[in-house]
Amino acid sequence: MIGIKSIASYVPVDGVDNYAQGVKFSKNEDFIISKIGSAFLPRKAATQETSDLCVEAINALFINNPDLKREAIDALIVVTQNGDEEGLPHTTAIVQAKLGLPTNVAAFDISLGCSGYVYGIYAMKGFMEATGLKNGLLITADPYSKIINPEDRNTTMLFGDAATATWMGESATWLLGKSRFGTDGSGAPYLKVSDGVFFMNGRQVFNFALLKVPAHLHELLNDSDLKADKIDAFCIHQGSAAIVDAVARRFEGVPVEKFIKDMAGTGNTVSSSIPLLLEKHMIDGDWKRIAISGFGVGLSWGSAILYRQ
């Protein structure tokens, strides 16, 4: 059964001091830590394209996994809504060339935002099982610095650039359990790009997440015949400190500490936020079963159980 074998990431070293941005926008340090959750927001260099972030994350994966051979990779998915080019070609093709991956690799982009990792792991697992492919790399890379207006206090203090690479294949330590998904395009205008600039209605997105995510997680647990106390951790999208805290408080049955909050040095990295948590806390930790949930652009949401084999 295809599962998650390893996760690596690339987080740019350069970035923005959020306290300095706070001075500009009259936000104090307490607000920055307790509501936004990030003191530093990594930013890619102007010369780096989305595909370059993907390549960095995959190279980190190669370093961590000497047994992962370039020529064995036969499936590649990039989750992004800010690819290199204008619509076409897809970013995966550019990544294939930059990395010198075999030309027999099956490669496509998935367009999703903050829910993208949850969808992506099932899309990759399913595609590999349906086609008999053996070694898949699921990449997340959605550098919002390409579309953020640095004068927009609603977005420029929230988002950070990052990329992650998840190796999926047989003999994996972590397997995918039940999943649930949702889409409500009536909320599409709350997160969108117009004339190259990103706009977010933060209040509407916050309300959506608070209404949807705790209930969705409870539905997922019911589907899985699991009580909440059987989940070692909840790794939900790190939209902001405020939304993680609010979802944790609204979700009944577990201490709020089970909702992992770790975004002080990254910000909201869109589809990379969940795999960043998993890389840091799950892969080498002692958890046996976790729940993940992503939510955002679309509006779109997805939740799933991951468990140790």
User: Least distance in Å: CB of 105 to a second copy?
Assistant: 5
Q: Which of 205, 233, 299, 306 binds a second copy (CB under 8 A)?
A: 299
Q: How open is the CA angle 23-39-43, to the nearest 5 degrees? A: 95
Residue whose CB is less far from a second copy, 21 or 183? 183
- State whether the Cα torsion 31-38-291-140 is positive or negative: positive
SS3 77: strand
> Is position 175 an interface residue for a second copy (rule: CB under 8 A)?
no
The footprint of a second copy on this chain (CB under 8 A) covers a number of residues equal to: 66
Under rule CB under 8 A, which residues in 181-210 are in contact with a second copy?
181-186, 188, 191-196, 198
Under rule CB under 8 A, which residues in 225-254 are in contact with a second copy?
none
Residue whose CB is less far from a second copy, 87 or 255? 87
What contacts 265, CB < 8 A, 6 or more positions away?
Answer: 11, 38, 39, 40, 42
Residue window 118-157: x/- pattern of binding to a second copy, with contact defined by CB under 8 A = -x--xx-xxxxxxxx--------------x----------
Q: Name the strand (E) or helix (H) holding 167.
A: strand 163-169
Among the residue ranges 3-11, 96-104, 225-233, 253-261, the one whose residues contact a second copy (CB under 8 A): 96-104
Tokens of 112: 């999703």
Reference 118, options 281, 274, 5, 238; nearest CA is: 274
Among the residue ranges 12-20, 112-120, 256-264, 282-290, the one whose residues contact a second copy (CB under 8 A): 112-120
SS3 69: coil
User: Least distance in Å: CB of 255 to a second copy?
Assistant: 29
CA distance readout (Å), 112 to 140, 247, 265, 308: 10, 22, 23, 27
**Widest pairwise Cα distance in the chain:** 55
The binding site for a second copy (CB under 8 A) comprises 76, 81-83, 85-98, 101, 103-113, 116, 119, 122-123, 125-132, 147, 176, 178-186, 188, 191-196, 198, 297-300, 302
